[in-house]
Structure 1
Amino acid sequence: MEKLIAVGLNVVDKYPALGVMYPGGNELNVAVYARWLGAQSAFLGVFGSDGAARANEEVLRKEGVEISHCRHEQGENGYAEVELVNGDRVFGEFNDGGVTGRFPIRLTGEDMRYIRGFDVISASINSRLPEREIERLHSAGVPLSYDFSDRYTPGHLRRVAPHVDFGFVSCSGMDWSRTEAFLRELHALGCPVPVATRGSEGALLFDGNSFYRQPAEKAEVVDTMGAGDSFITAFLLEYAAGVKAGLEGEAIYRKALQAGARFAAKICGLQGAIGHPMPLR
């Protein structure tokens, strides 16, 4: 069984038009998706002291996600308001991660020993991790995935890329030639395997020698919330399984990309990133 740890953000996604909210946040989603895919998973993040935080903790426990290394701080948990436009989620007001933004994770020696017991680490630009903590995660010797989303800056790319093994970037709306050039740039900065996700146009991976294009799978789209996180989760777990099976090169990348596309299509049919609707507060 593969083991994944997600370090970073948990929020509630509020849908005012529907009167409900759902657990969410990049790393919370990844940790739950890993369980759905049959892996052992953990979430290491910061919970606030409000009802949203308690609800998220309860959902993680129900889903079988390990949360023993999480922090608790006084204050509002993270939230983001969401509007659905033809099934595509559009973010509105948010509170910058709540306590996750106010109390960024500082990894302890005990945390690092714990993290070394996993097969893969997942983090993102939304995790509010200080850049020096990303370097520390990389020093654990466990493959580190980092989602730059579309919120990166050139400076952040330069500083972080050398310390991640898989760099995911959102390139929706960017043409294919520019996407290829961007992945070459990211690889030159020190990221061995950059991956561009392009929504309904699929994904593109560059390993320093070759490009691998993955078409999107057909999906009945209800809500695109979690599509990127689900792609990343399935990709990472398939990659970890492939390493254990002795796969490498094109064989392992093709399988990982296909797994990501299949699972992302499935998640697009779900309301909210992981379900578990709650009355809007």
Structure 2
Amino acid sequence: MIRVIGLGDNVVDKYINTKIMYPGGNALNFAVYANILGIEASYIGVFGDDNAAKHVYQTSKSLGIKLDHCRFYKGENGYSKVKLEKGDRVFVDSNKGGVSAKYPLTLSGVDLSYISEFHMVHTSCFSFIEKELAILRQYSKFISMDFSNRYTNEYLKECCKYIDCASISCSKMKDEDIITLMKDIISYGCKHIVIATRGARGALVLVDGKLYEQSPCLIDAVDTMGAGDSFITAFLTGYINDMKETVDFSVESGNKGLTKVEEYKDVVIRANLYKAAIFSSKICSCNGAFGFGKSYKE
């Protein structure tokens, strides 16, 4: 079984209609979802010293996420303010990362040695990690980065040359425009996979030049928070775990990543896309990204 690590953002999502906050954040969600799927997961990020930070940290630790390399600073933890509209989460406001923005991660030699032990690293455009990507590339077997819908061509060009998988949120784009963007991302240097989530329209996934489409597993969603993160986590961890015996993951190989493939690759991709759609629908049946709500006061 593979081992994975989330690197970067953690937040609380504050639901303004109920005054309940839930742990979340793209990189932390990845680690938690991987853990739910039975995969050993760690997380490195920055925590504040307020009640929100304590809730996120204690919840993550109770779930079995390894947090040994996290940082702690005096100040406000990252948060977003959210409202629900017929089960669909809508972001209203945020503090733009809180202490994570004020004290962005600088990876030490100890951190990098630790990261090199994992099969996959996942980070995001909310993680303030851009300046670390070049050195991270040297120590990582597979790097995934989620750009959400917060990207420009210049930003993609800056980051994609260091990563193996890029994820983008494209619910309001036409499919032909999405496919063009996916191909552009590969041309910017992303090595192997582009995942484009389209909300209720499912996902388009480009793997080593071959395009796949996955329909959603539609349900009456309680809360769509984490729908994209859970899909990405389930697909990537399942695919990499299934392919690990035929993939060269050694740093010494020059970080070529997914280069050795077998005839069953297509079946593996399709199976894990289907599993990812089911897992994502299950996540949409709980409140917050993965539950564990707690009341808060302004």
TM-score by length of 2: 0.91
The residue type equivalent to 1:59 in the other structure is T
CA distance in 1, matches of 2:140, 2:79: 32
SS state at 1:149 partner: coil
Matches within 5 A, 1:121-132: 121-129=121-129, 131-132=130-131
State whether residues 121 and 140 of structure 2, in contact with CA within 8 Å, keep that contact through their aligned partners in structure 1: no
State the alpha-carbon separation in 2 of the partners of residues 24 and 141 from structure 1: 24
Q: 1:254 Cα shift?
A: 1.9
SS for the counterpart of 2:96 is coil
Aligned alpha-carbon RMSD (Å) = 1.3
Shift of residue 165 of structure 1?
Answer: 0.3
Q: Determine the C-alpha separation between the residues in 1 that align with 2:294 and 2:280.
A: 23
Do the aligned partners of 1:168 and 1:194 also contact (CA within 8 Å) in 2? yes
Q: Secondary structure in 2 aligned to 1:271?
A: coil
Aligned to 1:4, what secondary structure does the other structure show?
A: strand
In 2: Cα distance, 1:42 partner to 1:19 partner: 29
1:86 to partner: Cα distance: 1.2
**Structure 1 position 135, deviation (Å):** 2.0
* Cα distance in 2, alignment partners of residues 75 and 172 from structure 1: 34
- Maintained 8 Å contact 1:15/1:280: no
- Return the alpha-carbon distance in structure 2 between the equivalents of residues 180 and 24 of structure 1: 29
Q: How does 1:192-271 map to 2 (within 5 A)?
A: 192-246=192-246, 248=262, 249-271=265-287
The SS at the match of 2:173 is coil
TM-superposed CA distance for 1:258, in Å, is 1.9
Do the aligned partners of 2:7 and 2:27 also contact (CA within 8 Å) in 1?
Answer: yes
1:218 partner SS:
coil
Alignment deviations for residues 149-200 of structure 1 (CA, whole Å, 9 cap, x no partner): 1001111101111111010011112111111111111111111211111111
Per-residue Cα deviation, 1:101-155 (whole angstroms, up to 9, x for no partner):
11110101000000011111100101121x2212222221311100011001111
Letter in 1 for 2:163: V
CA distance in 1, matches of 2:140, 2:4: 14
Change (3 A) 1:179 1:20: same
Q: CA deviation at 1:208?
A: 4.5
Question: Quick one: distance in 2 between partners of 1:70 and 1:33?
Answer: 19
Supply the distance in 1 between the matched residues of 2:157 and 2:137 (Cα, whole angstroms): 15
In 1: Cα distance, 2:269 partner to 2:187 partner? 19
Q: What displacement does 1:245 show?
A: 4.5
Matched residue type, 1:280: Y
Unaligned runs of 5+ in 1: none
CA contact (8 A) 1:232 1:260 kept: yes
Contact 2:218 2:281 in 1 (8 A): yes
Distance, in Å, in 2 between the alignment partners of 1:20 and 1:82 is 10
Could you state the TM-score of these two structures normalised by the residue count of structure 1? 0.96
Task: State the identity %.
Answer: 41
Secondary structure of the residue aligned to 1:126 is: coil
Q: What is aligned with 2:98?
A: 98
With 252-261 and 58-67 compared, the bigger mean Cα shift is at 252-261
Structure 1 residue 256 displacement after superposition: 2.9
Q: Distance in 2 between matches of 1:142 and 1:5?
A: 11
2:279 corresponds to 1:280: no
SS at match of 2:151: coil
Deviations 1:201-238, CA, capped at 9 Å, x for gaps: 11111235321111111223010101111111111210
Alignment match, 1:181: 180
How many residues get paired?
280
2:88 and 2:224 in contact (8 A); partners too: yes
Confirm or deny: 8 A CA contact 2:120 2:140 kept in the other structure. Answer: no
- The DSSP-based 3-state class of the residue aligned with 2:28 is helix
Runs of 4+ deviating beyond 6 Å: none
Contact 2:195/2:232 (<8 A) preserved: no
For residue 121 of structure 1, give the secondary structure of its aligned residue in structure 2.
strand
Segments of structure 2 that go 5 or more residues without pairing to the other structure are 247-260
CA contact (8 A) 1:187 1:208 kept: no
